[in-house]
Structure 1
Amino acid sequence: MLSTLLAFLGACTLIAASPGPSTVLIIKNSLRSRRSGFMTVLGNETGVFVWGVVAAFGLTALLAASQLAYDVMRIVGAVVLVVFGVQTLWAARRRKGEQGQAEGWEAPERSAWASYRGGLLLNLANPKAAIFAMSFLPQIVPAGAPELPAMIALAAIWAVFEVGYYGVYVWGVGRMKAFLSRARVRRRLEQVSGGVLVALGARLALES
């Protein structure tokens, strides 16, 4: 069981380290404040746990088997990514007009619920997260273990592990806040993160 758990945590590390829309959103919101970043992490990991539970009950198999269901989720996920990206780009453009080249600008605080909701929505709108949970978790269940409770427990461990992993991102952004809060630097970061989110959304919409 210990060797299985260690292998599972190693796989979780590789999954979390792979760049994706959740990572971009967590870093973007961490620029506002550590609270905003951490609540985004909690929302994202709630989505991870939900998909793990859904996979445990076998419901994600329906998504994998139905091209129509997958396509609907894919388009919804693409729209969510593009909307988040456009909002970020628009905020950077508006800030340029309002703040000029002012230094030391502080981002307006988002409510904890808004940050949590953004992380949760982005994860739940990603069909790849659902398919990955279905294909990943069953392989980790130890032989002879009851599958349903084991998969739910693994989903919880996965979510808690990623809270700690992405918490390091939030902490790191917070440590560099004095530099990252400069108006010019922040605009560039928002332009990059917004462009990445739009590109990821377009890629998700166009893929077969």
Structure 2
Amino acid sequence: MTIAQVLAFAGVVALGAMSPGPDFAVVTRRAALAGRAHGMATATGVTAGVLAWAVAATTGVAALVAAAGVAFTVVKLVGAGYLVLLGVGALRSSWRPRHRRPEPDAVPAAGPGLWGAFRDGLLCNALNPKAAIFFVALLPQFLPADAGLVPLLTLSLIAVVVTAVWFLTVANLVAAAHGLLSRPAVRRAVDGVSGTVLLGLGVRLVFTTAG
């Protein structure tokens, strides 16, 4: 691989990470409602999901998921169900009355603890079969036919690093406005919008095809 190929691959991965989707929605919501630590934990979870798909792509598992109708459908439906679950939880939180301003460290609207934040990011990405399609379609474009393990691992590492940088940046930028976003009326609005978005993404995922 040449430097130009590596940079081009990093650019494509960055564009994929920056495109609006479930990962962006969960990271933004966590950082907005629960603060920097929770946002960064969610971003780390998303990155772990990308790592899992990158490893799956290098071992052929991702290609199997993308090609096998049953496997693709199972991952798709489970992922869609999880997004709907997150969306319903966010909408319920937006409708729940709040009689006092929440404490800065309280996270009732975003789920319990840093582990919960990491889990949301991980499952949101790992249960998205479009990630399998992305890696299966992308990697061969930047690898020679006789590529060994080292080039595959190099591109996988680049994908992980680019994803981590982007989502950690998003988490920190959104968390900078946590003081404003933690106001009850604003929290309800954030929950309502993010819940609607997550529900919509879950429904759209149901109709996603591997082709």
Q: Same fold per TM (> 0.5)?
A: yes
Q: Which moved more, 1:152-161 or 1:46-55?
A: 152-161
Q: Tell me by how many angstroms 1:11 deviates.
A: 0.9
Give per-residue Cα distances to partners, 1:50-72, cap 9 Å, x unaligned: 10111111122222222122111
Asked if structure 2 preserves the Cα contact closer than 8 Å seen for 1:52 and 1:134, the reply is no
Q: Tell me by how many angstroms 1:164 deviates.
A: 1.1
Distance between the aligned counterparts of 2:39 and 2:91, measured in 1?
A: 18
Q: Tell me by how many angstroms 1:143 deviates.
A: 6.6
Counterpart of 1:156? Answer: 157
Counterpart of 1:56? Answer: 58
Runs in 1 of length 4+ with deviation above 2 angstroms? 102-107, 141-145
Counterpart of 1:43? Answer: 45
Q: Structure 2 unaligned runs (5+)?
A: none
Distance between the aligned counterparts of 1:151 and 1:68, measured in 2?
A: 27
Counterpart of 2:128? Answer: 126
Q: Tell me by how many angstroms 1:28 deviates.
A: 0.5
Counterpart of 1:174? Answer: 175
Distance between the aligned counterparts of 2:104 and 2:92, measured in 1?
A: 17
Q: Tell me by how many angstroms 1:144 deviates.
A: 5.5
From 61, 81, 84, the equivalent of 1:82 is 84
Q: Structure 1 unaligned runs (5+)?
A: none
SS in 2 for 1:161: helix
Asked if structure 2 preserves the Cα contact closer than 8 Å seen for 1:138 and 1:151, the reply is no
Please tell me the residue identity of whatever aligns with 1:16: A
The normalised TM-score by structure 2 is 0.89
Give per-residue Cα distances to partners, 1:57-88, cap 9 Å, x unaligned: 11222222221221111111110110011111
Please tell me the residue identity of whatever aligns with 1:74: K
Asked if structure 1 preserves the Cα contact closer than 8 Å seen for 2:28 and 2:171, the reply is yes
Q: Tell me by how many angstroms 1:157 deviates.
A: 1.5
Counterpart of 1:197? Answer: 198
Counterpart of 1:20? Answer: 21
SS in 1 for 2:98: helix
The CA RMSD measured in Å over matched residues stands at 1.8
Please tell me the residue identity of whatever aligns with 1:161: V
Counterpart of 1:34? Answer: 36
Distance between the aligned counterparts of 1:160 and 1:177, measured in 2?
A: 26
Give per-residue Cα distances to partners, 1:73-121, cap 9 Å, x unaligned: 1111110110011111112222xx133xx55764624422111111111
SS in 1 for 2:106: coil
